[in-house]
Structure 1
Amino acid sequence: MKINELTGKNEWEEALLKASCHDFYHTWDFHQISRQNGEGDPRLFEVRAQHGGILFPLLSRPIAGSSLRDLSSVYGYPSPLTYGLINRDEVPGLWDALLSHLFQRGYVSLFSRCHPFLTPEILGEDAYSHCGRVVVISLDRSEQEQRNEYRTNHRRDISRLEQLGVVCQPESSARSLADFMANYEATMRSVEAAPYYFFPKSYYQGLLAARSFDTRVYSCTLGDRVICSGIFVFCGQFVQYHLGGTAPGFAHLAPTKLMFDTVRKDACRMGYRHFCLGGGHGSQEDSLFRFKAGFSSETCDFRVIRKVINPDEYQRLSASVAIETSYFPRYRAALH
């Protein structure tokens, strides 16, 4: 096995071309946006076998109280990718080679969220932990078939919004971004979201400026007021609902329903195959999940990878965590 550790834009993008498909979560651009947001230093690990290999995009982070580091994934659904031909009997060797390399490089643990469509099954069921489900809309069906999947009250509320004169469309102006930030942050405050879910303006500007994927701000307007906003990212076969929020005082109208319907129609017309709405808060099948499930009965498993690379150091760092928690890595539970 041969392992390459890629950090440059050109070599990162050339490596991604080896995979049959990728999403914006895998790109160098999005990892640089994450780096600028203070989430870690991007690394694309390539493990090469005889006729194929693994591409594993991750963020390298310092650990408080240690000279060592750990690895995590960007916000969203990145996951490893595979290319070429990998035999099942090569898989244990691929993992052993990667984890040995990471141990020698001074890493304690590895955590990665996984993509609902692109997570490679060849890497073995024992590599993944099931954490919930995400709602997806398959766009390769007829308009009527897609629309029939909508829950009755979703169809009714979309019609009511249209009758009220609510209009939804993509915009890229400074005003639309300002309105999005106001609506998103108001929504996050209303649900008492952790600081992790708040982003600086530069984060959104980076998404809009990226060349390797297409980011759109969709705004629902009633009169001269933007009552709902969302950021959607178009890349490869996929459209991802990234972030969104509703203006205070308008939640009862549920304008997100019209926004999702508008994005679905646009994505279908543009030839995309999958519209991913995501799951619930903390991967739970809560009211948010049920709201999204009102658009489609199709779901995909959301899985994560958890690997302890240096057991002794992991145990030492975790020893001071008194609370009962399933958070991984355990030593970061107090910061979560």
Structure 2
Amino acid sequence: MVVDAEFILPEDRRWRDFLTTASHDCYHLPEYVRFAAKHEGGSPGAYYVENNGMALLVPVLRQALPKDLGGTGMACDFISPYGYPGPIFSGGTDAPNARELFAGFLDIARSQGAVAIFLRIHPLLQDFLSTMADFGELVMHGRTVFGEMSGGRDDIWSGLSGNHWRNIKKLQKSGFVSVHNDFAWWEGFIGVYLETMRRVGATRQYFFSRDYFDDLRQALGNRLHLWSVHSPQGALAAASIFIETDGIVQFHLGGTAAEFSSFAPAKLLMYDVGNWANAQNARFFHLGGGVGGREDSLFSYKSGFFKNYSNFYTLRIIADEPKYRQLTTIWKNNTLDSHCDLHFFPIYRQELS
């Protein structure tokens, strides 16, 4: 097997050139991975692998091993940034070459000190999933909801629930309106998002810093879209951000002002974004899933817009079995909390309160 594999940095021209040959989403962009490194920790990069004119890109954060576990030297973990930045293959890649490309990625990752590799697979970009699964443990976390944007409005909204449609018509009749990319409401969006997270009792991981929002906006530029819904009196009722990349419109974060929650203004927002995505000739409008992958009230709400579903997987690879066992033993000996999640991976990176 002759494979050319290398860990490349966000500024490497090959990264952006590769994206012109492969279906991808915002999470695969070098600027997104650089942003994620700042807020999640680690060094941003991607494994770029070529073979027989075909290629593979695996965006990752290189994270040093925790010092309290004796982390020294080149040993490290490679972790997908938050979102869905799983491995993607260039167009025209076939199954035999996909296997060689992925094997080449693992070979170089091991040579560069990899202990554990944790990859978040994109629900809509799952080429050669079974091939990659042969190299590790593929874990299904739940379903996500998406709309297919080709066709007319009757086609894209064929799965819209009666309840959602009644709410939308009532909001329109009452004088609520949606606004696209008026960034005078950026501060308001951040406020209603954080207010919503407090109201629903979200875990701390969803309480992003102010820098997170501003850095994301700066990193993604005009790919990031702010949509807001306003009452007949002009008050901010709801706001969300969406990211448009290579034909995929991705819902990222959103919230509703408490005083308007009974009106469900976000339903009008999502409806108008879907129509805009259709007019932009997008391929998909991806809403994501429920909290933690569960089919909960959030999942049910999203399913009220579309009835198209895809599975969200992670791929877990132990690249250095002896080192992984050693780190796990040290972590368990240091951990007094018996209520740890034994399914967390890598287990020794689990933060216990």
**Aligned equivalents of 1:263 and 1:43: distance in 2?**
32
Q: Does structure 2 conserve the Cα–Cα contact (< 8 Å) formed by 1:29 and 1:212?
A: no
Number of residue pairs the alignment of both structures matches: 335
**Aligned equivalents of 1:293 and 1:332: distance in 2?**
33
Partner-residue secondary structure (3-state), 2:192: helix
Deviates more, 1:38-47 or 1:134-143: 38-47
Which of 133, 142, 146 is the aligned partner of 1:126?
133
Q: What CA deviation, in whole Å up to 9, does each residue of 1:272-306 have, x standing for no partner?
A: 11100110001111111111001111111211111
Equivalence map 1:128-277=2 (5 Å): 128-173=138-183, 175-210=184-219, 214-222=223-231, 223-277=233-287
**Aligned equivalents of 1:232 and 1:278: distance in 2?**
12
Deviates more, 1:11-20 or 1:235-244: 11-20
Q: What CA deviation, in whole Å up to 9, does each residue of 1:105-136 have, x standing for no partner?
A: 12211111111222222661625332211111
Equivalence map 1:30-179=2 (5 Å): 30-64=32-66, 65=69, 66-67=71-72, 68-83=75-90, 85-121=92-128, 124=131, 126-127=133-134, 128-173=138-183, 175-179=184-188
Q: Does structure 2 conserve the Cα–Cα contact (< 8 Å) formed by 1:169 and 1:262?
A: no
Deviates more, 1:277-286 or 1:185-194: 185-194
**Aligned equivalents of 1:100 and 1:146: distance in 2?**
43
TM-score (norm 1): 0.92
User: How far is the alpha carbon of 1:211 from its aligned partner?
Assistant: 5.5
Decide whether aligned partners of structure 1 residues 335 and 310 sit closer, same or farther in structure 2, where only a CA change above 3 A counts.
Answer: farther
**Aligned equivalents of 1:259 and 1:139: distance in 2?**
16
Which of 309, 330, 333 is the aligned partner of 2:350?
333
Q: What CA deviation, in whole Å up to 9, does each residue of 1:3-52 have, x standing for no partner?
A: 11110424254343353321111001111211222432211101222231
User: How far is the alpha carbon of 1:172 from its aligned partner?
Assistant: 3.9
Q: Does structure 1 conserve the Cα–Cα contact (< 8 Å) formed by 2:290 and 2:297?
A: yes
**Aligned equivalents of 1:213 and 1:63: distance in 2?**
36
**Aligned equivalents of 2:36 and 2:160: distance in 1?**
34
Deviates more, 1:323-332 or 1:240-249: 323-332
**Aligned equivalents of 2:277 and 2:91: distance in 1?**
29
**Aligned equivalents of 1:47 and 1:40: distance in 2?**
21
Which of 309, 321, 324 is the aligned partner of 1:299?
309
**Aligned equivalents of 2:351 and 2:40: distance in 1?**
18
Decide whether aligned partners of structure 1 residues 213 and 309 sit closer, same or farther in structure 2, where only a CA change above 3 A counts.
Answer: farther
Q: Does structure 1 conserve the Cα–Cα contact (< 8 Å) formed by 2:192 and 2:239?
A: yes
Q: Does structure 1 conserve the Cα–Cα contact (< 8 Å) formed by 2:32 and 2:220?
A: no
Decide whether aligned partners of structure 1 residues 307 and 213 sit closer, same or farther in structure 2, where only a CA change above 3 A counts.
Answer: farther
Kindly provide the amino acid, as one letter, of the partner of residue 198 in structure 1.
F
Consecutive unaligned residues in structure 1, runs of 5 or more: none
Deviates more, 1:99-108 or 1:9-18: 9-18
**Aligned equivalents of 2:179 and 2:262: distance in 1?**
20
Q: CA RMSD in A?
A: 2.1
Q: What CA deviation, in whole Å up to 9, does each residue of 1:136-178 have, x standing for no partner?
A: 11110211222332100000011111122211111342x4111
Q: What CA deviation, in whole Å up to 9, does each residue of 1:76-133 have, x standing for no partner?
A: 1111111255443344443333223212212211111111222222661625332211
**Aligned equivalents of 2:205 and 2:43: distance in 1?**
17
User: How far is the alpha carbon of 1:235 from its aligned partner?
Assistant: 0.9
Decide whether aligned partners of structure 1 residues 84 and 293 sit closer, same or farther in structure 2, where only a CA change above 3 A counts.
Answer: closer
User: How far is the alpha carbon of 1:207 from its aligned partner?
Assistant: 2.9
**Aligned equivalents of 1:264 and 1:71: distance in 2?**
35
Kindly provide the amino acid, as one letter, of the partner of residue 180 in structure 2.
P
**Aligned equivalents of 1:335 and 1:60: distance in 2?**
22
